[in-house]
Amino acid sequence: MKAINHPTTSHKAPKFATLTALAAACAMMLSAPVHAAEADTATATAASTSTAVPSAIDSTKRVIRLAKPNTAVSTAQTDAQANTAIPQNNVQQNSIQPNNVAQPTFTQGNNAQQSNVQQTNAQPNRAPLNTTHMAQPPAVPAPNAPELTGTTRVYERGPMTATGIDLRSGQLPNIPAPQVNISDISFVPTVLIPQQQGLGTDKLDVSLLDDFIKEVSPNARHYPPNFPNRTQRHNAREKIKVMTEWIEPYAKAPNASYDVLIRAAKLNGMGRNLDLGSEYTVRGGQYVDRAIKLKPNSGEANFIYGMMLSEGGGFKEGQKYLDQAVSLGYTEAEQSLAQSDVLSDRRDKALERLRRLAQQVPDNAVIRQQIKLIEDGKFYIWDIPAPDVNIKPST
């Protein structure tokens, strides 16, 4: 009889292959967290070392990094950066790899080929990979592109310097050098007045305002105003508008000081003479009335109020304020009384008043001109050639 050779393959072969695959998968799952922890520790240590910033001794000083674009990174530094990036990629791959292993099945009677088929079929059913955390290939810097490096410097204050070009040195031959000559230099004295009544109040700088009032008063203080030309008259009107608008909020305050009120009254009175509107007449009368209540013995306040009333037609109303100003030694109040006498058909009384005043103030040339106007039959004693004024247009 022929001997029949039976296959030596045992029925235990499929089970042995399945157990071997299970052991390999468990070993990989247990070793992956260890490698990942070691890689994370190394990465954290490198990051803390690279981001360390030197601290300044003085906390009030600023730290500035001075960049040097012409300094290139050496080849050893580039290789070290590339080698540092490779373990990070391996760690990410190892941390993902346990999820790719198919779970083995413990079904007897299947051979190794069937087990491989089951692993292949199980891959489509697993969760998709997160591509955002996958390692990117290391960036290789361009061989010729320099990398910015820098040093740390502590900022300290230093002297400010400015550089420029002297046109007279011939560096710009095509541009003519300007020639500037400064002459007729004048200074405006600083004048500070209290804003409100009482002590401890804020101060107002009225230096430019007082300079303007002093310059334009001979031309616009009395009616009719007199200017050398229409341009100066127009500039004076516009300037009065600006000045009045500036001082108006301070003069409207219920506790405005005397200095604020008397200046607001002067500006509004000149605005009335230059026909800027009836509101200037009303405001001027209100402000000077409040100023007299604060200082009843002010010769200037009494004169301004009496002049505004008499030149506006209120001869009797204005006379008592003008008489009060004369008693306080205000010379210009006598001239305003003479103007009231002329407009009231009392020329002889006006001439007597002015001639007596001319003897008291012999250096006043204006009084002599006013006497001449009355003798010539004129009605307005302030209609005399006005001095030239240099009023700049408002900007």
pLDDT, residue 224, reads 86
> pLDDT (tens digit, 9 = 90+) per residue, 209-257?
999 999 999 889 998 898 888 998 999 999 999 999 999 999 999 999 9
pLDDT of 156 reads 59
Long-range contacts of 271-278 (CB under 8 A, 24+ apart): 271/237, 271/240, 271/241, 271/244, 272/308, 272/312, 273/220, 273/221, 273/222, 273/223, 273/224, 273/225, 274/220, 274/225, 274/233, 274/236, 274/237, 274/240, 276/237, 276/240, 276/241
Residue 323: per-residue pLDDT: 93
Q: How many whole angstroms separate alpha carbon 245 and alpha carbon 360?
A: 40
Closest CA to 254 of 312, 204, 311, 293: 293
Indicate the pTM of the whole model: 0.54
- In our burial notation (b when 16+ CB lie closer than 10 A, e otherwise), range 43-64 reads eeeeeeeeeeeeeeeeeeeeee
How is 310-335 classified by DSSP, letter by letter? Answer: HHTT-HHHHHHHHHHHHHTT-HHHHH
**Quick one: pLDDT at residue 179?**
75
Residue ranges of the chain with per-residue pLDDT less than 70: 1-20, 26-173, 175-178, 387-388, 393-395
* Straight-line distance from the first to the last Cα atom of the chain, in angstroms, rounded to the nearest whole number: 135
Q: How far is CA 118 from the centre of its chain?
A: 75
**DSSP state, residue 150:** E
